[in-house]
Amino acid sequence: MSPERGPLFLARRSYRRRRLADAARVLPILGAILFCLPLVWKGTAAAGGTVQAMIYVFGLWTVLILASAILSRHLRLDESERENWHSARTGADGE
């Protein structure tokens, strides 16, 4: 990696990291709304069974867990890189 390219790359990194944090904030809200969806079906007699609701709830649960795992993993990676960048920069300033 050439030094000129560095800052641009890092800026993009930190930008992406902020969007990831946004996603992490939205995820529980999205989850809460989606978990309420079975309440809407109640009126329609066709799809109103406990089994369908169970499959939906547990399926959604799994999706949320996976999303959370992916987000947490990336947030960690980015944070440690940000810290590296910090220490590298302060080290350079000190010289």
Residue from 21, 78, 81, 85 in contact with other proteins (CB under 8 A):
21
Nearer to other proteins by C-beta: 16 or 76?
A: 76
The answer to whether 57 and 35 are in contact (CB under 8 A) is yes
Does 63 contact other proteins by CB under 8 A?
no
Rule CB under 8 A: is residue 36 a binding residue for other proteins? yes
How far is it, in rounded angstroms, from Cα 76 to Cα 73? 5
Residue among 55, 23, 25 at smallest CA distance from 38: 55
Site string for other proteins, 65-94 (x = CB under 8 A): xxxxx-xxx-xx------------------
